[in-house]
Amino acid sequence: MRLASKLIVFAFLSLILPSPALPGPPAPDEPRADEPASPSDTPTEAEKAPVFFETTTVTARPISSATGSVTVIGAEELTVSEARSGSEILEGVTGVNLLPTGGRPGVTHAWIRGADPNFTLVLLDGIPINDPTDRQGGAVNFEEIPRGLVDHAEVVRGPQTSFYGMSALSGVVQLFTPRGGPGRVRAAVGAEAGNADLRRGFARASGPAGRGGWSAGVGYDEERFRIASERFQQLDAWANADLALGTDVELALTARFASGEQDDYPNGSGGPVLGTGELRRTEHDDFAVGARLTLGGPGGPRHLVSAGLSRRAQDRVSPAIAPVVPESEERTTYTRLRLAWQAPLHRSGRTQVDVGASGEGEWADNGSLLKLPPDLGGDVPGDYEEQRVSGGVFGAFRQERGAVLYEVALRLDGASGLGPQLNPQLGVVWRPGSGATRLRASAGRATKLPSFFALASPPALGGNPDLKPERTIGGEVGLEHRFAAARLEVGAGYFLHEYRDLVDFDFDLFLHVNRARVRTQGVEITARWQPHATLRVDAEVTWLDAKDPSGPPLLYEPRWLGGGSLTWQPSPSWSLRLFTRAVSRYLDNQIPVLDRDAVAGYGLIGFAGSWRFHRDWSLRCRIDNLADRGYETLIGFPGPGRAVWVGLGWERS
């Protein structure tokens, strides 16, 4: 390939590939491992409730037994926050930085503890929904997750391969659909409208199915012109059922379909302010279906067999970014099938031993084209078809001795064309005395298979089939304490992670290679104060230090971020909340902008409220960026101004 063509392709790759570094912070409330739900000295019902959804080696257990950092965002918390998308669901989660490229039509990724967003495994009822054909390596756009799809969520921070399988280098986000149950049929409908042509409608219903239940819902979201000419629309439908097939046999089913399209401004383009203003167009269809079979009652041997199938089809046309990135078009289809089995070897009041196995099959089909002018060699195709099989066996041991809980897990993974990967996990929790204080520590190793784009792309785009898995070794220590008399809970933790063999692009070789190495460390602090039964104050802050020892300073890594909320619920009919979010300065790079390399820090404030004015009817509203502050999320990408919506809902409960 001629030098000029190589330069253009390299600039294109520099734009679309994730930095060899990694970014991250956030956390809300409800029961948390780092902030329990009540200031009493005894565990609350929320704290006793299962925090982990049972997938692969993960066994549901109380949040107080978690040796790592876990945030549970419950259904009540989501209702109070009036969240409308996945990014709003995750806002305020400690250690999670949400970096948007615009409004709802843009792309919002979750950076956990300074790690690239493709290092976060995202599960929907246990079904992975990451797409490794994406040029970002498998990062999930949380703007595509509607609030109606999610009943509650969990965020687990730190290396989690030994518990969840490969891909969970920096953490896991689990999303759970609403479930039905015994009782009469429940139904709800609602409509919302706001500025920027915001329109949303939803309907859902749930009811009994023998000793179990069923639930289903549909929703439509649309937004236009919140930032320049951006546009977003998406239709979602989901359904699930929990069926009792016998005395000791249960079957849980889940299905989801989504179809949407959006027009936004490409990364690196300088956005609508400093770029050409040309839009990138994306259309996508998502489908996921899963089943989980439970054999055995809670008092005896209990086996879990699960299967999950997800498929994503995406078409994207991106404009040229002067002076070096050409126009491109891409059509990808990605399918993943996951099977898992888990069984207890031993269960007693204080000891638990689990073993199991899981495997995945992945199929990728990509058709893409870089449109170079004829004098630079003409169009460069990026087509590939690829598949791979991976799997692992695992064991986990937990034991309580007095006030101390120990946890050890070990997973051996392998994949077609790659060597075996051993991923251990160790953890301990100490709750002395009355249990008002909790000390915890954990450490582990995690691995992630290279993305299909880096592995399977043609040589003209630097594809390298010999790439090794990316990996991390990390650990953390934490302390939480409840001051019962003051109705105050505080928590603090320190983490250190080192990422190795990160995939980077070598221009001299014109090839993706394993070479980048990044170290992240930080401190997470949380507090919850409830001075009155109707009033609650929450706050969290994260200090982050992320470095590439042999490379330039890392992009998108704010040193500080945090936020808080003031929630007042004077009666069961009223809920009012003020919330704030602040992010410090961070580095950025936009191709057309040569005289700037950073985005200034900013702070925002918002409001959410609801009023149930009748037994079945309610009014809801939310205002983001209440002060209408001007700010940037990337150089040339203005953050959304004041965003207002109001809604009317009917619910038969």
Question: pLDDT tens across 449-503, in order?
Answer: 999 989 999 888 889 999 999 999 999 999 999 999 999 999 999 999 999 999 8
pLDDT, residue 652, reads 85
Q: What is the mean pLDDT of residues 303-321?
A: 94
Q: What is the pTM of this model?
A: 0.91
Q: Check residue 59 and give its pLDDT.
A: 64
Q: What is the predicted pLDDT for the residue at 8?
A: 44
CA–CA gap between residue 561 and residue 538 (Å, rounded): 15
Q: What is the pLDDT of residues 177-201, one digit of tens each?
A: 999 988 899 999 999 999 999 999 9
Q: What's the one-letter identity of residue 165?
A: G
Dump pLDDT digits (tens) for 331-389.
Answer: 999 999 999 998 888 877 788 888 999 999 999 999 999 898 887 778 889 899 999 99
Q: Residue 2: what pLDDT?
A: 46
What is the mean predicted confidence (pLDDT) over 2-6? 46
DSSP string, 182-193: SSS-EEEEEEEE
**Calpha distance 285→280 (Å, rounded):** 17
Percent of the chain whose pLDDT exceeds 90 = 70
Tokens of 399: 């034991």
Alpha helices (runs of H) in 376-431, residue ranges in sequence order: none
Tens-place pLDDT, residues 392-441 = 999 999 999 989 999 999 999 999 877 889 999 999 999 998 889 999 99
For the chain, domains (ranges, CATH) are 18-652 (2.40.170.20)
Residue 375 CB-density burial (10 A; 0-12 exposed, 13-18 middle, 19+ buried)? exposed
Whether 252 contacts 53, CB under 8 Å: no
Which pLDDT belongs to residue 1?
A: 47
